[in-house]
Amino acid sequence: MSLLKLDIEDNIAILTIESPPANALSTKLLSSLDEQFEVINKNENVKAIILKGEGKFFSAGADIKEFTSLQNASDTTSLAENGQKVFKKIENNPIPVIASIHGAALGGGLELALSCHIRIVTKTAILGLPETTLGIIPGFAGTQRLPNVVGQAKATEMMLTGDPISGVEAGKYGLANHVVEEEELEDVTKKIARKIASKSKLTINHVMELVSYATRENFEEGVAKEAELFTDVFQTEDASEGIQAFIEKRKPSFKDK
């Protein structure tokens, strides 16, 4: 069964994550995202992309149960680097990507949203990087992108406490371009996509290329270090405890080792 649904409406590609109940970012889903962006980019008529989630969430995070299958450091490094590669492709995409966010964008889900160029968020949505509550850290470049968007102080607070923010707060901190009511999300997202798609594709592509220069300084060094430390922390007892506690729906008991 496909985890993504692709629809083309005029000059707009609508890519929907269909992996209930949480739209979790499994290895298979990341691979499907990579493949679908290749397909979309080959369509000369597409000028804007909408990325959204089916059901209750945009994406509630990475597939935590899949983490239990990671047996050694190379598996963990590969997971982080693969997610980073896919999200980098989205961030550097020549066609702008609009994240249409409802319900929750947590962990890997927020890292995915951060790789998009425009974010439309419902007031009641929650957004955050709660990895530290599991005894791990973000691994899909969240430690690098979030400070660039909300500022170092707020990003540090969000990552260390693990506390999410609301859609309203996301607008306040610059994480969301627009904050809307739940019933307005689709209309507002499509309105913006149509406005972009009314422009010349050449101008769209050139703007996207130039904007990407603004985020490159020290970024590659940062994400490489993130993958290294993501791997290191995964080998700890606390990581095993945090992941197991999440699966068992209980509070973890960390030993700081």
> Which of 79, 99, 111 is CA-nearest to residue 17?
99
Q: Which of 111, 182, 209, 228 is catalytic?
A: 111
3-class SS shares of the chain: helix, strand, coil, % to 5? 50, 15, 30
Side chain identity, residue 97: V
Q: Three-state DSSP class for 69?
A: coil
CA distance 31 to 86: 8
| 17 in Cβ contact with 54 (< 8 Å) | yes
How many DSSP H helices and E strands does the chain contain? 11, 9
Radius of gyration of the chain (CA): 18
Buried b (16+ CB within 10 A) or exposed e, 85-101: ebbbebbebebbbbbbb
Given the DSSP bridges, would you call strands 126-128 and 104-106 parallel, antiparallel or unpaired?
A: parallel
Look up tokens 């899909």; give the residue: 140
Q: Give backbone dihedrals phi and psi of 50, rounded to 5 degrees, phi first.
A: -110, 125
DSSP label at residue 95: S
Q: Which of 91, 131, 169, 226 is catalytic?
A: 131
Look up tokens 């209750």; give the residue: 56
> Which of 105, 4, 9, 13 is CA-nearest to residue 62?
105
Is 66 an active-site residue?
no
Is 111 an active-site residue?
yes
Catalytically annotated residues: 111, 131
